Amino acid sequence: MPEAILKIKNLKQHFPIYGGIFMKKIGRVYALDGVTLEVKRGETVGLVGESGCGKTTLGRSTIRLYEPTDGNIIFEDQDITRISQKQLRPLRRQMQMIFQDPFESLNSRHTVGEILEESFIIHKDGTSSQRKDKVRASLERVGLSPDTIHRYPHEFSGGQRQRIGIARAISLNPRLVICDEPVSALDVSIQSQILNLLLSLQEELELTYVFISHDLAVVKHISDRIAVMYLGKIVEYADSNSIIEQPHHPYTQALISAIPVPDPEIKRTKVILSGDVPSPIHPPSGCCFHTRCPAARNICTKEVPLLKDYSPDQQHQVACHFAGEVNLV
Ligand code: SF4
């Protein structure tokens, strides 16, 4: 079994809130509240959940775009949680990110060649002509003509711009790529092309992905394992088939019930959750899902359910006091 490339242990990311005329600290946003997760080398772990559940924060904290409040991030057996930015710099080329909106993440005043060459310049990688060769190779690898290096981002379609974003992320041969909603801004017809590109690059370059999306149907297509997040916590984590076929957490069951079924003969109960996701400034007591859970009982308002192995092979973790008893779909 491949070893873990990334271990996240009890990670907390609390953002302070300042207010009043003296801009004093008046509260905090509990964006991540004790996340533990392992990602094995070469696999794709999908992070799924509604907007505001903490999945993007988890992706960004993992590569230290935020300074974590507590917990540990271990990458390639090295604890990187509190190392300095200087110590982090050589590791940055091994951990890259693909962003949701390629247009926003690409500098519109620079040509594609300049945008892609920048990573090599920052990491002092090669001479000018070697860098340009590498830029052309990166473009070809993502299915774009090397002749496009002189063009600007606005001259490309959304799908092509995302290919440029992917070329930038893979150009330095990273080990881990955080893909933050990489297809959400694209037409459905283009989404599958980008997903297939990510899959072929993964095989070719032996990449490990953390794939973030609010869309469980997309996550299921690309992920080996899926972590379902709710209000800064992981509530269920298992291999994709297990999660889709035997979801144990009521929230996962609700997400799955919303995936359209292509076969009209198959009937599935749609679980409608009442209310909105509570504010991460004032998360509910006990189980964070109890305010919307159709199966909630008294204990759920008082005791936090721990993420525990549920299956005999210890590969299916669920945080619910009644895992295995609840079936909403
Ligand atoms: Fe629902 Fe209770 Fe399980 Fe939370 S612990 S998901 S409230 S049944």
3-state secondary structure of 56: helix
Supply the DSSP string of 64-109, one letter for each residue.
TSS--SEEEEEETTEE-SS--HHHHHHHHTTEEEE-S-HHHHS-TT
Q: Report the pLDDT value the prediction gives residue 275, as an integer from 0 to 100.
A: 84
265-275 CB burial, b ≥16 within 10 A, e <16: eeeeeebebee
Q: Strands 70-75 and 78-79: what pairing?
A: antiparallel
Q: Report the pLDDT value the prediction gives residue 2, as an integer from 0 to 100.
A: 78
d(CA 293, ligand 1 centre) in Å: 6
Q: Report the pLDDT value the prediction gives residue 270, as an integer from 0 to 100.
A: 84
Q: Report the pLDDT value the prediction gives residue 1, as an integer from 0 to 100.
A: 67
Residue matched to tokens 């559940």:
53
- Whether the CB-CB separation of 10 and 70 falls below 8 Å is answered with yes
CA 9, CA 14: separation in Å to the nearest integer?
15
- Whether the CB-CB separation of 320 and 326 falls below 8 Å is answered with yes
Ligand 1: atom nearest CA of 235 is 6
Using a 6 Å CB cutoff, which residues line ligand 1? 249-250, 287, 289-290, 293, 295-296, 300, 305, 320-322, 326
Provide the sign of the torsion angle of the four alpha carbons 109, 104, 33, 15, taken in this order. positive
Structure tokens at 212: 């973030």
Going by alpha carbons, the residue nearest to atom 6 of ligand 1 is: 320
The chain-wide mean pLDDT, for the chain, equals 93
| pTM of the shown model | 0.94
Give the chain's residues under pLDDT 50: none
Q: Report the pLDDT value the prediction gives residue 276, as an integer from 0 to 100.
A: 86
DSSP strands (E only) in the chain: 4-19, 24-40, 44-48, 70-75, 78-79, 95-98, 176-180, 208-213, 225-230, 233-239, 308-309, 317-318
CA 8, CA 75: separation in Å to the nearest integer?
9
- Probe target for ligand 1 pocket from 298, 321, 328, with the most ligand atoms within 8 Å of CB: 321
Ligand 1: atom nearest CA of 321 is 5
3-state secondary structure of 30: strand
Beta bridge partners of 236: 228, 318
CA 84, CA 92: separation in Å to the nearest integer?
12
Q: What is the pLDDT of residues 175-211, one digit of tens each?
A: 999 999 999 989 999 999 999 999 999 999 999 999 9
Q: Which domains does the chain have, with CATH numbers?
A: 4-105+176-318 (3.40.50.300)
Phi first, then psi, for residue 61 (nearest 5°) are -65, -35
d(CA 291, ligand 1 centre) in Å: 9
Q: Report the pLDDT value the prediction gives residue 328, as an integer from 0 to 100.
A: 83
CA 45, CA 63: separation in Å to the nearest integer?
15
